[in-house]
Amino acid sequence: MRLVFAGTPAVAVPSLRALAAGPHEIAAVVTRSDAPLGRKRVLTPSPVAQAAEELGIAVLKADRLDAEATAQIAALEPALGVIVAYGGLVREPLLSTPAHGWINLHFSLLPRWRGAAPVQRALIAGDAVTGASVFQLVAALDAGDVFAEERYDIPAGATSAEVLDDLAVLGAPLLARVVDGIAAGTAVAAPQRGEPTLAPKLTLDDGALDLTRDAETLLHRIAGVTPEPGAHTTLEGARFKVLRAAIADAAPTPPIPPGRVVASGKDVLVGTGSTPLRLETVQPAGKGAMNAGDWFRGLRTSGPVLGA
């Protein structure tokens, strides 16, 4: 088949490479415009754009799939559109432009976690299992019939970035098999079953840590918002990021009040609504990431309180 592939971040690159290695023609890749990166804010092509150029595939850059982008894609006469984390919505008439419509690789087991941040929301909720789904794109949000899915057990302590990287690799061959099935006329999609849950895009507020909550809930949130927007609280009125933490091996006596930071042997512990957390990597305001022990030893005051 003749395909159009839409994607932007690095998690879409394994799928692009899997399709490029297959029997189908990728007429063009659609990706978002170059973005400023680094301290010097240098305009940089998206990871998908860079991969497409390496593969010799034409690139269309568009931040929205508007009338102009629709006309450019229609001129390519694709049989199928494939989308993986493009970062924009496909609406009519583009939705019906390819003969077989559009399919989407989504990083959850639908209908759980429909939306822009399925992995992040799954980790925040403390899910033990997630996965990848390939479904037919329809006008309603992530509601189309599912062609195939693959389950994935979430490793203990994994961050959203790490889980996304794993799902990107897991989902690429799944997506390629569905494309092959559509081309052969053997692919069958089934309606989603179960109660949908929504996964809206994260905001800065989603990274805020309420240290009166229990330690396990806090760890789930830290995992889900790492690296973006990042888990954070405050220290003396300034933002204080928690990059890595774990539940303390043993709780000291007397109990540590929520937010209070103390040294316990070689560990740096912070009180929560239950068991203390062991801080491993932190980032104080205006500084880079550092070992929590190094940060604590460099303090001029003892017993700081986070979130006060």
Question: Does 291 map to a domain?
Answer: yes
Query: Do 94 and 7 reside in the same domain of the chain?
Result: yes
Full residue range of the structural domain in which residue 243 is found:
204-297
82 and 172 inside one domain: yes
Residue 190 lies in a domain: no
- Asked whether residue 51 falls in the same domain as residue 121, the answer is yes
Does 308 reside within a domain? no
Query: Does residue 302 fall inside a structural domain?
Result: no
- Residue 189: per-residue pLDDT: 98
Domain shared by 274 and 161, yes or no: no
Question: How many domains is the chain built from?
Answer: 2
- Rounded distance, CA 119 to CA 224, Å? 7
Instruction: Using the structure block, give the residue that is written with the tokens 């092509």.
Output: 45
Regarding whether 120 and 29 lie in a shared domain, the answer is yes
Residues 235 and 293 in one domain: yes
How many C-beta atoms surround the C-beta of residue 251 within 10 A? 16
pLDDT of residue 301: 76
What is the C-alpha separation between 133 and 154, in angstroms, rounded?
A: 16
Q: Is 199 within the bounds of a domain?
A: no
- Same domain for 24 and 144, yes or no, is yes
Task: Give the CATH number, domain containing residue 21.
Answer: 3.40.50.170
Length of the chain, in residues: 308
Q: Tens of pLDDT along 137-148? A: 999 999 999 999
Q: Over range 24-45, report the average pLDDT.
A: 90
* 191 within a domain of the structure (yes/no): no
Q: What is the pTM of this model?
A: 0.94
Q: How confident is the model over 240-275, as pLDDT tens digits?
A: 999 999 999 887 778 899 999 999 888 999 999 999
pLDDT (0 to 100) of residue 16: 98
Same domain, yes or no, for 164 and 213? no
pLDDT at 300 over 80: no
Which tens digit of pLDDT belongs to each residue from 203-231? Answer: 999 999 999 999 999 999 999 999 999 99
